[in-house]
Structure 1
Amino acid sequence: REYFENYFGTYEKEKIATPLGSGVIIDPEGYIVTNEHVTSVASKLMVSLSDGSQYEAQVISSDPEMDLAVMKVEAGKPLPYVHLGTSRDLMIGETVVALGNPLGFENSVTTGVLSAVNRTITVPGKYGEIKYEGLLQTDALINPGNSGGPLVNIEGELIGINTAIVATAQGIGFAIPVDKVREALVKLFNFQEINKVWLGLQVKEPPGGGVVVEEVEEKSPAQKAGLQAEDVVMALDDRRTADVLEFEKYLLKKNAGDGLTVLVNRKGKEKTFRVTLEKVPIPPVEKLAMEKLGLEVQAFTSEIAQKLGFDWLSGGVLVSGVEAGSPAGEAGIEPGMVIISLGDYKVSSLEEMARLLDRAKGGNRVDVGLAWMDRWGAHRGYARLRAR
């Protein structure tokens, strides 16, 4: 047991009941932001809305270090959502409102004031202690179950995601500022990682907003269509792109083979390009896994899942061998474990693992999400490696 805890965090058996937590809808198409620790221990997630309707949710991506995750529900209709505000101009003493499900009491609202900004706290986490920096502090009551819920201003705009409390004190709660949330969402909404769709544009957001092409990848669909670095992207399929987050979020709708109309401003003149999206080129996973991590891997089929007792697990990649002295070997990863995520993204197949490993450069940190069985039962955890 101590061996596993050293590498994978707190020892914990698989839970049967879905943990209680909160979240906030940020898009009419059903994208929900919550805390990563709310989603990480559940094999199935159900979302209950304020009108009593319930939907099964899928985790799109997550960031354990930022403690943020994005889920999606398929409601079949546009959903009410909160507008993202800004945390740049917050004033100490202004009124704030915390919403969520504290201790399981649904749709609870508490009010308070913004007590401080740029707070730093340290809390227990999967990798040991996690240091949160730049947090908002409020005296609005935040209790277990509020995690992942919205902190809003009196205009109803999202200014933070509730994330932590001080258990030994009253009236001290913390939230991740919305500007930090927005930065994380750009990465968490990465359409290329999630949908395996290749456009071939690296974009940036200049001060004041907008989307500027920073780089066009060689032989990519974007290059074939004629897009160039320094083009300013104004619209995708006639939908205006105000910032990089809107750019990434819109492209999540697309699949390989779909067409995309890109309107750009190039040196003061508007130009329109028609791009045919392609599937992300996939390198051989066996070679990448061994070269970068020291792992032998194979497909995790339903038959293997049943045989090894992983019937509760949906998707992953099976570890079939570990090179002695490799990054994976030094971290304690063993044959029979199942890789369920790399970095912020779920791994459901060999193809997904190959795509993610291909982006890991030598010396880069790789956080590997794992599931394993032992005599105590079924577990989930993380190992932190350095790619070679």
Structure 2
Amino acid sequence: MVQLLLITGAQAFFFVTVLLYGGAVFHWHLRPHLGLVLQAFRRRFIFEAPPPPPTWPSSRLVILTAAFGHKAEWLEAAFENHRMYSSIHGYRSITLFQESAPPGPKGAYRAKLELMLELMNFTASPNEVPIDYVVWADADTIFVNCSQPIHHFIEEFPDKKALLASDISPFLFNSGVMVWSRSNFTREVLEGTLEVIKDEAIGPPQPAYKGAMPGEQISLNWRLLPHEQRRKCRRRFKRCMKKCAGDECMKLVDPLVANEVAILPNHRLQSLRRKWKEPNWSLPVDCECALSFSNGASAIPSDYRVALLPDGGLQTMSVQRSPRPLCVKGTKAANDTSCGGEALSTTDGAKKGTVAEGSEFIAHFAGIHKDARRTMILSYAGQSSCPAMLMCRDLCRGGAGGRQTEIG
């Protein structure tokens, strides 16, 4: 009882959250009960995940998503999409909704950073898998191309403590999707940013442009600027910002921290667009064991695949792969070969055409009207390859002949 009375207001918020949400957030005050908390966490917030790939311990990565205040009708679809993607690749998933934001200035924006910091400060016991990376994904994001493992970015930049994506507006990066390593650098950035947000004397940096929200993104961007720039731009953040992409943005980052950070082109980590169109494609997934089940063959011809569509339908096709440039602007039609990572030139009876894999890895529906956001999130969640990949995994593990095929 004495210990509980000593818990600060912020700590009490996380304490109650853990009790309400079955371990979605960890706190050191819960250490004696951590085994029960983790059991509830695994039971309520992740699917039964496949074993992690032998080359990378994917279970050490957590994908964290939270929403506060009004519960949008699309929220469960987004949460389900994030859980499915995590299950496919063996990541741990936390999806959290809280009707009221934490008290104090910028409560909902601050909670985003506080949740990440809680996971950074979590210490696993010897029989628990530690957390090495926390991936924040805003609730209005959808994993579209679910065959892309997010840990491939970590392998590409093994020495970086933070992987970020540039914005389509005058910012260094967009905070909708971020990959942070569990490190002292991350703790210092998050703690320093929280201090700025809670500073009642001066206040957080002001929006970079007219109409921008004074959220955590501005304070995080400000925190990565050189010290002299931070002094100059505290009141007028626009002075220090300009539109940039990928490596261009690194020129604006404090040289003292530049070695710890990578800023990727926006479309690589998340796709932001000023205008969205409903997807006119259904992302197929190669499911080789489905072909062997459907035609009874013991060996799969090298030039044939079965595309398992999100609605559960199967399409047998002859496949010829050809490389294509990434599509940076807009979602293209299925027969437009100027877009996507690879083209699948297919022939299926009388049907001829190209099945485009699309350019989106993660679609981020920020800054659009609430009605359009609802439509886009529900549409993209339905066209995501995540449901098909899970169906294929279940089919290959428990289908005819018990054939096993790893996905992802």
Instruction: Report the TM-score when normalising by structure 2.
Output: 0.28
Higher strand residue share: 1
Higher helix residue share: 2
